[in-house]
A = this chain, B = another copy of it.
Amino acid sequence: MERFDLNILGCGSATPTLQHNPTSQVLNVREKLFMIDCGEGTQLQFRHSRLRFGRLNHIFISHLHGDHCFGLIGLISTLALLGRTGDITIHAHADLETILRPQLDYFCREIPCDVKIEPFDPQISELIYEDRSITVKTIPLIHRIPCAGFLFQEKPKEAHLITDKIKFYDIPIKELAKIKKGADFIREDGTIVPNERLTRPAEPSKSYAYCSDTAYNEKIIPIIEGVDLLYHEATFADAEAFRAKQTGHSTARQAGKIAKMAGVKKLMLGHFSARYTDNGILLQEAKELFDNTILANEGLCEKL
């Protein structure tokens, strides 16, 4: 199985607590690291996680509230001090350029790499990143300021060739790439060897959706439908439903409802309000609607 792990570096909300750090997480896709949000102290949490700074090239920032981006300047300074030479690309709202660039110019004058800020429009769902193995699309969210979630999808994988059969039918090497992609094999006499006789099915492609911060929003359902893991904010319990609405956040129950309606495989709750010293109530309320729910926690590594 190829690696597709979600590492939680922080899952608290605006005011950090002794229990939770501000938001940051790292998706490890086959040893390429993708950071999502970067609250204050993220670089320290990154060190604690034993992930490797050198594997991090792309950072995705959902929105420009401090608890999701104050750690950027410290993280980049440290990458610079470590002698980083490869580009770092930050995908974020266009305002980040005016906020972060003057800091980079002042504090990281001698930085040996380029920091690129790639703006996206949080109001539409668009492809913002693509490589050989994954795509990343934005998920428009409803919050007090422009905000987007991110959908990470593995591309369809190739089927596995069954070596014995390939030998048996004496299939030339140049045909193999096509067969891996699903083609049948046509023998010299015109008979067809169907693909399913030559291959074992590809491993399923994995998908991860990050939705924080957001008010309850059914419009995200078609985008996140059927994902393997949905991280959905659950800042508040039912008792604070009014406050959730007021502040552009969700309750745990609403997160459970979205997970259920979108038919996701698993739900992870996060972005916990500082008022809860124990998040058990949030887990319980989400589980009433969607059973396969877990709580995020600093240090958690969820293998998909």
Contacts and interface: CB of A to CB of B under 8 A. Distances in A.
Interface in A28-86: 40-41, 43-44, 47-48, 64-66, 70-71, 73-74, 77-78, 81-82
A113 to B, nearest CB: 16
B48 A18 contact: yes
A47 B18 contact: yes
B99 A99 contact: no
A115 to B, nearest CB: 14
A133 interface: no
B21 A64 contact: no
* Chain A: interface size category: 20 to 34
Contact of A106 (B21, B47, B64): B64
Contacts of A41: 40-41, 44
Contacts of A77: 14, 66, 70
A289 B65 CA distance: 50
Interface in A80-136: 81-82, 95, 98-99, 102-103, 106-107
Contacts of A73: 66, 70
A17 interface: yes
A292 interface: no
A41 B77 CA distance: 15
Interface string A1-24: 000000000000011111001000
A103 B71 CA distance: 13
Contacts of A44: 16, 21, 40-41
Nearest to A106: B99
Nearest to A105: B99
A95 to B, nearest CB: 7
A44 B67 CA distance: 12
Given A14-B77, A18-B48, 12 more contacts: A16-B74, A16-B78, A18-B47, A40-B71, A41-B41, A66-B74, A66-B107, A70-B73, A70-B74, A95-B106, A98-B102, A102-B102
